[in-house]
Chains A and B, each alone.
Chain A
């Protein structure tokens, strides 16, 4: 069951009809919300002058419907609220009755149609051309519209007509459209004694994170950024954790925070901390039956943070080729976790020889014979040249001293049975082994 309160100020004509059966108020738009809040936390503010709220649980507390209506009237009188009140089994019927029937109306379940039949059709929320059509058919009230057969209305007026007919019969059932309350995603904690160790600090951070994650989940949100500000005995410390995929789970965020603080510990004991989260819409991905599974984002983030803590953040990621001809030019970016549809190639690529890079390229001593390498000596690479191909000259980025290169490359097959790429740096006149074909 739902109760709807509609302020009289919005409907002065009705107020003139029956001033005695009205709940009195000075500021109708502002106070009816407080009045509704006194009876239920589930409130829909349909318009500034209309609120609907659930009274489903009030029966056990206050008694039957007329008792509930009388309690609402009494509370409204105390608050000086002047409004119409309607109680009905569904939201839309309660709104229609409160707006267009003066005083207090109680529509018992199954009697909605009888209460609505006197309401003029022009009061229904409908399109002008549809209203004009209904009036040309000779229909004037909700009762007239409710008598029409469903199939005939559907054939002639479509879904809009069916909606109006159901509205006139009081049979539309929908949940309350509640506005999201503004939420503060920040928690602060002042400590009695300064904390030196990470473990007790993480325990307290975990408690604050649990509260913040509860708020996030209640609003169907997830954390994209977690900002931690530590007030130290001397100075302050702050860190921002930005997640590629928004997270909702306390354990995942706490683990990432722990890994970050272990790598970058605060320089002094902690006196207080503030945790703030930046909310974002959680990642919702519909996996396909024929799409391959991908790693769970929260688990993968923890794994990547652990690996990054071990090998360094710059040493783990998805490789990206840079738009340059400079040899071995790449960068590392974040891994793309979006599930992708399988790509089908008509003809798979042929097996081609790959290349392994020696990083850093070892310096080599190369003997030349007839202007071609004859022997190569380097760390881990040495032997006589069986066959050589080259030189292949490459150069570029002459405008930048840091990345400028100018070299002669040779492909050499040594007598150890392997094929290497060596190059002569024309700037320094030094030979290097770039890598091995494999």
Chain B
């Protein structure tokens, strides 16, 4: 009898991996922009870490800014943690971001400050979206970030309405992300002496399927 109660208490404390548990319904942040809606038909899942990566001029910043624009238009407070101080407020305003609802943290190349600032913001709570911009950061420094950091970020945003959006040159968060979008520039479109736009290939790495071609105006 005593053994049975001890076993049940043990199972309560450390449930076996085979136990079925009720999973909360995922809420989504809608993305009415057609180009992005093809990638995320339901919108960005809240309480997750989403990653966008690609080389320079692949449209990763544009995608991030448009996602931020949708969030600030919904009245949410958002934050950009900018590792390399490369955020352009004029470009953000042109993309439709409501700057008065955007917190910009300029870390001026200090990766430790970047990660700590992101951690503090995620723990403060209440943000609709926190964009962590790690583009153009030295790969040697990025490789030193322990995997546990991304796991910690993922656990922090879990069950909150916040979306942690990671923007980088290469994939960083490994298995801690929910969606990983890889962007690659395909061709620049020129119209005489002016840049008319670009076409890029966008592929969801966690989802099977052909890459989508997305056109972006200059």
Residues of chain B in range 175-218 having any CB-CB distance to chain A below 8 Å: 185, 188, 190, 193-195, 197-198, 214-218
How many B residues, CB 8 Å from partner?
A: 75
Task: Give every chain A residue within 8 A of B66 (Cβ-Cβ).
Answer: 349, 351
Task: Evaluate contact between B99 and A353: CB separation under 8 angstroms.
Answer: no
Chain B residues contacting A217 (CB-CB under 8 Å) are none
CB distance from A143 to the nearest CB of B (A): 59
Among the listed stretches B8-16, B123-131, B146-154, which one makes contact with chain A, having 4 or more residues with CB under 8 Å of it?
B123-131
CB of A189 within 8 Å of the partner chain: no
User: Are B74 and A292 in contact, CB atoms less than 8 angstroms apart?
Assistant: yes
Within the complex, the shortest CB–CB distance from B127 to chain A, in Å, comes to: 6
Chain A residue with Cβ nearest B101? A336
B57 cross-chain contacts in A, Cβ below 8 A: 417-419, 436-438
Q: CB within 8 A of A292: which of B105, B161, B185?
A: B161
- A62 close to B (CB within 8 Å): no
**Bound: A69/B77 CA distance, A:** 61
| Residues of B contacting A: mostly | mixed
Residue B32, interface by CB 8 Å = yes
Instruction: Tell me whether B90 is interfacial, beta carbon within 8 Å.
Output: yes
Q: Which of A296, A320, A358 contacts B126 (CB 8 A)?
A: A296
Interface stretch, picked from A80-88, A156-164, A307-315, is A307-315
Nearest CB of chain B from residue A400's CB, rounded to whole Å:
20
Tell me, yes or no, whether A197 is within 8 Å of chain B by CB.
Answer: no
Query: Known contacts A387-B190, A389-B190, A417-B57; is A353 also within 8 Å of B62 by CB?
Result: yes
Beta-carbon contacts of B61-95 to A below 8 Å, as 1s and 0s? Answer: 11111100110011111000000011111111111
Are A351 and B36 in contact, with the CB atoms below 8 A?
yes
Contact A355 to B91, CB < 8 A, known contacts A416-B56, A417-B56:
yes
Residues in A with CB closer than 8 Å to B188 are 387, 413, 419
Q: What residues of chain B lie closer than 8 Å to A349, measured between beta carbons?
A: 33, 66, 69, 95-96
**Contact A319–B92 (Cβ < 8 Å):** yes
Question: Using Cβ atoms and an 8 Å threshold, which residues of chain B touch A390?
Answer: 193
**A418-B55, A437-B218 known; A354 and B62 CB under 8 Å?**
yes
Closest to A388 in B: B193
Cα of A359 to Cα of B123 in the assembled complex, Å: 29
Q: Which residues of B sit under 8 angstroms from A438, Cβ to Cβ?
A: 56-62, 135
B110 adjacent to chain A (CB < 8 Å): yes
Cβ distance B90 to chain A, nearest Cβ, rounded Å: 6
Quick check: B117 and A310 within 8 Å, CB to CB?
yes
B73 touches A345 (CB 8 A): yes
Within 8 Å of chain A (Cβ to Cβ): is B170? no
* A60 at interface by CB-CB < 8 Å: no
A295 contacts B104, C-beta separation under 8 Å? no
Per the 8 Å Cβ criterion, residues 122-166 of B in contact with A are: 123-128, 135-136, 161
* B126 adjacent to A293 (CB under 8 Å): yes
Q: Give A380 to B107 CA distance when docked, in angstroms.
A: 19
Contact at B75–A340, with CB atoms within 8 Å?
yes
Determine if A352 and B95 form an interchain contact, defined as CB atoms under 8 angstroms apart. Answer: yes
Q: A335 to B77, alpha carbons, bound, how many Å? A: 9
A435 contact set on B, CB distance < 8 A: 86, 88
A417 / chain B contacts, CB cutoff of 8 Å = 55-57, 185
B35 interface contact, C-beta 8 A: yes
| A311-B107, A321-B99, A332-B104 known; A356-B36 Cβ under 8 A | no
Given A321-B93, A330-B89, A300 and B126 contact (CB-CB distance below 8 Å): yes
Q: CA A316 – CA B81 in complex, angstroms?
A: 9
Instruction: Decide if A351 touches B86 in the complex (CB within 8 Å).
Output: no
A315 contact from B89, B99, B108, B116, Cβ within 8 A: B108
Nearest CB of chain B from residue A372's CB, rounded to whole Å? 10
Q: Is the CB of B106 within 8 A of A352?
A: no
From B74, B104, B195, give the contact of A319 (CB < 8 A). B104
Q: Does A328 contact B (CB under 8 A)?
A: yes
Q: A352-B216, A354-B62, A413-B188 are in contact. Are A291 and B75 (CB under 8 A)?
A: yes
B44 cross-chain contacts in A, Cβ below 8 A: none
CA of A359 to CA of B120, assembled, Å: 25
Interface residues of B in 28-69 (CB under 8 A from A): 32-36, 55-66, 69
Contact B117 A307 (CB under 8 A): yes
Give the contacts of A373-425 with B (CB-CB under 8 A). Answer: 380, 387, 389-390, 411, 413, 416-419
Inter-chain contact B87/A292, CB cutoff 8 Å:
no
Q: Is there a chain A Cβ closer than 8 Å to B121's Cβ?
A: yes
Check if B120 sits within 8 Å of A306, measured CB to CB.
yes
Q: 13 extra interchain contacts, Cβ-Cβ under 8 A, other than A303-B120, A416-B56?
A: A320-B89, A320-B99, A321-B90, A343-B74, A348-B34, A351-B36, A351-B59, A353-B62, A354-B59, A354-B64, A354-B95, A355-B61, A419-B57
Chain B interface (Cβ < 8 Å from any Cβ of A): 32-36, 55-66, 69-70, 73-77, 85-96, 98-108, 110, 113, 116-117, 120-121, 123-128, 135-136, 161, 185, 188, 190, 193-195, 197-198, 214-218
Name 17 interchain pairs, CB-CB below 8 A, sorted by A. Answer: A291-B75, A304-B103, A307-B120, A318-B100, A321-B93, A335-B100, A342-B74, A348-B34, A351-B33, A351-B35, A353-B198, A354-B61, A354-B64, A354-B92, A356-B86, A390-B193, A417-B56
